[in-house]
Amino acid sequence: MTTAVSWKDTYQQARLEEILPDGIVRCHLSPRNCTLKEGQHGFCGVRANRSGRLVTLNYGKSVHATEETIETEAVNHFSPGERILSMGNVGCMLNCSYCHNWKTSQAKFVSDKDVYYYTPEDVVNIALRHNIRMISWTYNDPVVWHEFVRDASRLAKEKGLMNLYKSAFYITPEAIDELVPSMDIFSISLKAIDAEYYRKVTKGTLEPVLEATKHAYKSGRHIEISNLMITDMTDNEDTSRKVADFVLKNLDPSVPVHFVRFHPDYRMRDTVRTPIPRLIRAREIAMEMGLEHVYVGNVYDTPYSNTVCNGCGAMLVTRYGLNAKTVGLNDAGQCKKCGRDAHVKMRGVPPVRDAFKDIPRDGMQVKQFDWHGDVRSLHVQVKNTHSETVKVYIRRRLNDGNHTDWLLHNLVPDESYRTIVAKNFANEIGCEIALPNGLPNNLHEVFDRAHFPTVAVEEVGVARNDISPLPIYGRNVLQQ
């Protein structure tokens, strides 16, 4: 990894360029098709016209690579429990009023301290070193990172890794065609199914998203659809019916659909979280209409995130928050009891980390964190400044005084590593992190999946409310 003075200082030739007369270029990456004169930037803020050519400003520029689980990405029917390496970047072709990642999705807010520099080889090597089989292109949105995603995902594929694309999917068919060869999964975030809402709230348009979804489905790759239900705006029965109708008419009934709970953020903090009964009702309607696998997302401790056999009712996969356990599926993704196809693509048993009852304590410090309010996940970031490999351990604390085993993370010299810890048991009160004294480290509170926190507990303290993560939009002290 190397660092530049500012992330905007360097750029390289972009793909999907159309050269027009008089030094003008047009971008064919997202349906905006921005037409740019010399010096102009696209809506996304990370593509520009430099000397009459279309360039990308964010190649290899990312938020910190983070180990998570596939459930973080609204994917329930592909290798449950799989550990993933999540890669986000900077910029976005949309500007949703409630964006959970506004500090990195909106180029004008991006701070150099939040930008890390990776090559495709760096990304693949991190995954291989930590025995992670899948890279997830996620967070702000991978569309505007197209060249890097294309290069790195192809290299990952060559090395035997899988790729997941989690996106709002405001993307052109030609860009999708460049991704299909290396992607295994498209997890598509359908923001709403109303054209007026798309225009007002996302600053995009609905129709290209629907067309792109159909295009990706025809590629034969694994598809899951999620729909964020905003309180009193889209958390109604009509939305559920329209989403189900779209999937039934254009995809197929086995495509998993997730109705996802909203948390107030960015410019939309004057409302409350989606009432859970409305999400459950949305799920009921979609299943009554014929969808086979419908889930409630961003809700802990709900039976509606489990996978149950539609034939005999047997439990197939249990989920708690962002953790999953396969209990009733065979290797072909069928119910072990009755043999019905549950449409779950299995990839063998996902590798797990080494676990220990006890660990050496000499020269180690132990940090504790308590789950509170809606903060039930944490990103732990540690930098190994030593000249030899160091061991970092993480375990969970239960309310009866017991603990889970310590899970081991080996960090090579100079490595900075970030991993999620998500509450896994109803009686879990928090977690502990054991690491060698003196290593730089920090903890980042996570509200819901697809949220990449940019400030650390050590910087600003723990969240002062239970519904909006820090930093809060509009507070000058927290904006760069």
- Which residues of this protein are in contact with ligand SF4, per CB under 6 A? 27, 29-30, 32-34, 42-44, 47, 93, 144
Q: Which is nearer to ligand SF4, 147 or 224 (CB)?
A: 147
Nearest residue to ligand SF4 on Cβ basis: 42
- Residue whose CB is less far from ligand SF4, 47 or 376: 47
CB of 28 to ligand SF4, least distance (A): 7
Distance of closest approach, residue 176 Cβ to ligand SF4, in angstroms: 13
- On the question of a cis peptide bond just before residue 253, with omega within 30 degrees of 0, the verdict is no
Give me the least distance between CB of 65 and ligand SF4, in Å please: 23
Amino acid at 122: D
Q: Which is nearer to ligand SF4, 7 or 246 (CB)?
A: 7
For ligand SF4, the closer CB: 32 or 130: 32
Residue 42 beta carbon to ligand SF4: minimum distance, rounded to whole angstroms: 2
| Of 15 and 241, CB closest to ligand SF4 | 15
Residue 368 exposed, middle or buried by CB count within 10 Å (0-12, 13-18, 19+): exposed
Cα–Cα distance, 28 to 180 (Å, whole number): 17
Nearer to ligand SF4, 30 or 189 (CB): 30
* Shortest spacing between CB 212 and ligand SF4, in angstroms: 13
Residue 285 CB, nearest distance to ligand SF4 (Å)? 34
* CB of 93 or CB of 135, closer to ligand SF4: 93
Closest CB to ligand SF4 among residues 36, 342: 36
We find the least distance from the C-beta atom of residue 29 to ligand SF4, in angstroms, to be 4
Q: Which residue, 31 or 321, is less far from ligand SF4 as judged by CB?
A: 31
User: In the bound complex, what is the minimum distance in angstroms from residue 438's beta carbon to ligand SF4?
Assistant: 43
Cβ 189 to ligand SF4 shortest distance, Å: 17
Cβ nearer to ligand SF4, comparing 144 with 188: 144
In the complex, least distance from residue 265 CB atom to ligand SF4, rounded to whole angstroms: 22
Q: 3-state SS string over the chain?
A: CCCCCCHHHCCEECCCEEECCCCCEEECCCCCCCEECCCCECCCCCEEEECCEEEECCCCEECCCEEEEHHHHCCCCECCCCEEEEECCCCCCCCCCCCCCHHHHCHHHCCHHHCEECCHHHHHHHHHHCCCCEEEECCCCHHHHHHHHHHHHHHHHHCCCEEEEEECCCCCHHHHHHHCCCCCEEEEEECCCCHHHHHHHHCCCHHHHHHHHHHHHHCCCEEEEEEEECCCCCCCHHHHHHHHHHHHHHCCCCCCEEEEECCCECCECCCCCCCHHHHHHHHHHHHHCCCCCEEEECCCCCHHHCEECCCCCCEEEEEECCEEEECCECCCCEECCCCCECCCECCCCCCCCCEECCCCCCCEEEEEEECECCECEEEEEEECCCCCCEEEEEEEEECCCCECCEEEEEECCCCEEEEEEECCCCCEEEEEEEEECCCCEEEEEECCCCCCCCCCHHHHCCCCCCCCCCCCCCCHHHCC
